[in-house]
Amino acid sequence: MESVISLEGVTAELGGHPVLRGIDLVVRAGEVVALLGANGSGKSTTVRAAVGRVPITAGRLELFGTPLSRFRDWRRVGYVPQRSTAAGGVPATVREVVAAGRLARRGLLPLRRGDHEAVHRALETVGLADRAREPVATLSGGQHQRVLIARALTNDPDLLIMDEPLAGVDLASQDVLAETVRTLVGRGAAVLLVLHELGPMEPLIDRAVILSGGRVERIVEHGDHLPDTHACHPEDAPEPSAEPRLHSGIL
Amino acid sequence: MSFALPSLSGSPVGAALPPVDGQALALEFLNYAFMQRALIAALVIGVTAPVVGIYLVQRRQALMGDGIGHVALTGVALGFLFNTSPVWMAVLVSAIGAVGMELLRLSGKARGDIALAMLFYGGMAGGVMIINLAPGGSTAGLTSYLWGSVTTVSASDITAIVILAAFVLLVGLGLRRQLFSVCQDEEFARVTGLPVRALNLLLAVTAAATVTVAMRVVGLLLVSALMVIPVVAAQQATRSYAGTLAAACGFGVLVSVSGTVASYYADVPPGATIVLIALGLFALAAALTRPIARRRARRAELPVPPPGTPVGERATVPAPADPDRSSVPSR
C-alpha cells in the first residue's frame, strides 16, 4: 500500500534543544495512526515537522513518496493545528474561516462557486451547516474544533493531520469527530492524530505510536492492548533501555 | 474668504466664519479648488486606510501604522534634501522600513514591539536630522506632514494619492481571502501552500503606501488612527469579516469627509478633527451595540438555537461562550 507519510530517523530541534531524536513513522493509505506520549515527548513537533512547520535537522521525511522539500501538492493534505486560545480581533463567520481551506486549491485567485459548495459540504460533514453565518467567537470549544476540521476537509484530503483534536472538546463533538474520521478512512484517506487520550477514537485507531523523549518508545497495533490513559513520564526519567519492541517490516 | 492653515494653535488668520446657513453651507466649500482636492483626498483615504487596517488589527499590529509613519518622516525629509517629491520619497523609505520590520518579525530574532520601538525613534530622529541638513530646510517644514494639511494638497499630490490608493485597494480587496488566512492562522496558511512570506511583505508595503497616502490629510502622527479606529468601531456591530471590512470603509469615508468639512467651518486642524470624530463614532458604536452583544452572548449559550427562539430566553445547558475557557482539556 502507498505510504502517505514516512519519517526515517527524523531529528529536529527547537531553540537549540533537540526535540526529536530519531523518529521512524509510517502511515499508509486507509490507516489511522495515533501519536501518544507525555507533554514534551515530541508529538506535536513530529506532526509539525511532517507539514514542514519545524525544519528537520537529519533523517528523511516524505509525503506521498515525495521528499518534503519538493512536496507542493498541499491540497491533498488537511491540517488541523492545535486550537489556539487567542481569538482573533476581527469577527469572522464560520464560513469565512472554513473557506480559507480552499486556498490550497485556489492559491492567489478568488474563490468560485465550486469552492463555496465544497465549504458547505465540509460544514455539513461536521454538523455545522446551520451555523455557517455565525461568528466563530460565539461557538463553544468543541464547535470551534469542528470548524477547524471542516477547514481541513474542504479539499477532500488524502491525508488528515490533527494536533490534539480532542482537547477541550465536548462529548457530542468528539463523536462527530470520530464519525468524520471513519468516513474519511472509508474512502481510503490516511489519518495521523496527536492525542492525549483515545476516547471515542479508540475503535478507529490501527496503530498507536508512543513517544518519549523525542524517540519512539513503543508501537501498539490495534487488537493489542491500546493504552487508554497514558501515564505521564517525567522528561528526566532514564531513557527506556529497550529499542522499540515492535519491529514490523515497515520500520 | 480665508482658511487658516492647520496649525497647533489653530489660530484663524483674521477670518470671520462663514454664515451658518443651510444652502450656503452645503455648497460654498465646493467652490474652492483646494477644498475640492481636500475632499477627494479625504474620500480616497477614508476608504483605503481601513482596508489595510483590518489586517493589522487582526494580527494585533494596530501600532504598525504608527511605526511606518515615523519612518515616512525620514522619507519626507530626504525628499526635501534631494529636492524630489516628499510623497514618493516617503513611499520608498517607509516601504523599506515596513519590509525591514516584517523581516525582523518573521526571523523571530526581535520581539515585535521592540522592533517597532526602534523604528519609531530612528525614523523620527532621522527625519529631524535630515531636514536640518537640507538647504533652507527647518523642522517647521515637517509640520504639515506631521499634523496633516489637507488644505494644501496639490494637484500632483492628488495624482500620487489616487495611484497609491488604487494599488492598496487592489491588494487589500483582491487578495482578501489570502490575507485573511495569513493574518488569522499563519501556520495553517503555510500548510495550504500559500506564499505566506510574500503575502506578509506585500501587506507591509501596502501599509507603507497607505501611510503615505494618508499623511497629507491626517498627518503622520495620526495616520494609524484612520487605519485602526474605523475597523474597531465597525467590529462592535458586525459578525463577519466581509461585513467588518465594508462597514469600516463606510466609517472611514464618513469620518474623513465630515472631519474635513468640519475643519473648514470650525477652523480647526483637519487631522485632529477626523480622529476625534472617529473616536466619537467608536464610542457611539460601542454604546449602541452593547445590548445587542449581550443578547447574542446569551443566545450563543444555547447549544443549537432553534429558529425563532425568544430572545433572552434562559439557557438550559450552559456551554462556555468564551472559547478561551474551553481550551483546557476536558478530562
In tens, the pLDDT along A122-131 reads 999 999 999 9
The reported pLDDT for the residue numbered A240 is 43
- Maximum distance among all Cα pairs of chain B, rounded to whole angstroms: 75
Residue B285, in any domain of the structure: no
Q: For chain B, give the percent of residues with pLDDT over 90.
A: 45
User: Structural domain tally of chain B?
Assistant: 1
What is the per-residue pLDDT for B300? 57
Confidence bin at B304 (pLDDT 50/70/90): very low
Owning domain of residue B212: 29-223
Q: What cell does B268 get?
A: 480647526
Select from B191, B194, B239 the Cβ nearest to the Cβ of A51.
B191
Check pLDDT > 60 for residue B330. Answer: no
- What is the rounded CA–CA span in Å between residue A43 and residue B70? 44
Mean pLDDT of A192-207: 88
The alpha-carbon gap from B40 to the nearest alpha carbon of chain A, in Å, equals 29
How many helices and strands in chain A, by DSSP H and E?
6, 10
CB–CB of B235 and A90 under 8 A?
yes
DSSP of B88-112: HHHHHHHHHHHHHHHHHHHHTSS-H
CB pairs under 8 A between A and B: 134
CATH assignment at residue B157: 1.10.3470.10
Which burial class, exposed, middle or buried, applies to A180 when counting CB atoms under 10 A from its CB (0-12, 13-18, 19+)?
buried
- Residue range A3-84+158-221 forms a domain whose CATH class is alpha beta
Residue B303 predicted with pLDDT over 90: no
Instruction: Give whichever of A104-108, A141-145, B165-169 has the largest mean pLDDT.
Output: B165-169
- On chain B, the residues whose CB falls within 8 A of the CB of A135 are 239-240
- Which residues have C-beta within 8 Å of that of residue B327, sequence separation ≥ 6? A83, A85, A141, A167, A168
User: Nearest residue of A to residue B242 by CA position?
Assistant: A92
Task: State mean pLDDT over B68-94.
Answer: 90
Question: How confident is the model at residue B258, as a pLDDT?
Answer: 94
pLDDT grade, residue A223 (50/70/90)? low
Measured distance CA(A79)–CA(A90) in Å, rounded: 23
Q: Do A72 and B54 count as a contact with CB atoms less than 8 A apart?
A: no
Q: Is the pLDDT of residue A247 over 60?
A: no
Binning pLDDT at 50, 70 and 90, where does residue B313 land?
A: very low
Band of pLDDT at residue B107, cut at 50, 70 and 90: confident
3-state class of B10 per DSSP?
A: coil
Strands A190-194 vs A17-28: parallel, antiparallel or unpaired? unpaired
Touching check for A246 and chain B: CB below 8 Å?
no
Q: Which residues of B touch A139 (CB under 8 A)?
A: 300, 323
The confidence band for B318, taking pLDDT boundaries of 50, 70 and 90, is: very low
Find out whether B233 and B282 touch, Cβ atoms under 8 Å. yes
C-alpha cell at A166: 480532542
How is residue A54 annotated by DSSP?
S
pLDDT of residue B296: 65
* Smallest Cα distance from B195 to chain A, Å: 9
Q: Does the beta-carbon distance from B323 to A87 stay under 8 Å?
A: yes
At residue A1, the pLDDT reads 61
- Greater confidence, B270 or B307? B270
> A193: Cβ–Cβ under 8 A, 6 or more apart, which residues?
A32, A33, A34, A35, A161, A162, A165, A181, A201, A205
Question: How far is A12 from B269, CA to CA, in rounded Å?
Answer: 57
Q: Which of B199, B191, B183, B184 is nearest to A152 (CA)?
A: B191
Can you give the pLDDT at residue B6?
42
Q: Does residue B216 lie in a domain region?
A: yes
pLDDT score of B103? 86
**pLDDT given at position A171:** 87
Query: CA angle A159-A162-A163, nearest 5°?
Result: 145
Element (H, E) at A80: strand A77-80
**Distance separating alpha carbons of residues A211 and A232, to the nearest angstrom:** 11
Task: Inform me whether the C-beta atom of residue A55 falls under 8 Å from chain B C-beta atoms.
Answer: no
Give the mean model confidence (pLDDT) for residues B65-92.
90
Q: Is B315 a residue whose pLDDT tops 80?
A: no
Q: Is the pLDDT of residue B236 over 80?
A: yes
The residues with which A193 forms a beta bridge, in sequence order, are A34, A162
Contacts of B192 in chain A (CB under 8 A): 74, 100-101, 103-104
Cell of A56: 528537520
Q: What is the mean pLDDT of residues A86-107?
A: 87
Candidates B244, B326, B328, B331, partner chain A, best to mutate (most A CBs within 10 A): B326
Banded model confidence at residue A220, pLDDT cuts 50, 70, 90: confident
The predicted complex's ipTM stands at: 0.85
Residues on chain B touching A115 (C-beta within 8 angstroms): none
Which run of H or of E encompasses A140?
A: none
| Residue A231 predicted with pLDDT over 70 | no
**Would residue B293 count as lying in a domain?**
no
With respect to residue B331, please indicate whether it lies within any of the assigned structural domains: no
Mutate which of B192, B227, B241 to disrupt the A interface (most A C-beta within 10 Å)?
A: B192
Residue B211's pLDDT is 92
- pLDDT score of B26: 61
Distance CA(A212)–CA(A36), nearest Å, equals 9
Q: Is B121 exposed, middle or buried (0-12, 13-18, 19+ CB in 10 A)?
A: exposed
Q: What is the mean pLDDT of residues A54-82?
A: 93
Name which of B106, B170, B176, B177 to mutate to probe chain A: the one with the most chain A Cβ atoms within 10 A of its Cβ.
B177
Angle between helices B196-218 and B241-266 (to 10 degrees): 20
- CB contacts, 8 Å: A168 with chain B: 326-330
Answer whether B327 sits within 8 Å of A108, measured CB to CB. no
Give the model's pLDDT for residue B24.
54
Residue A54: pLDDT above 70?
Answer: yes
Asked if residue B150 lies in contact with residue B217, where contact means CB atoms within 8 angstroms, the answer is yes
Q: Does A43 touch chain B (CB under 8 A)?
A: no
The per-residue pLDDT for range B35-65, each reduced to its tens digit, is 899 899 999 999 999 999 999 999 888 888 8
pLDDT value at position B321? 40
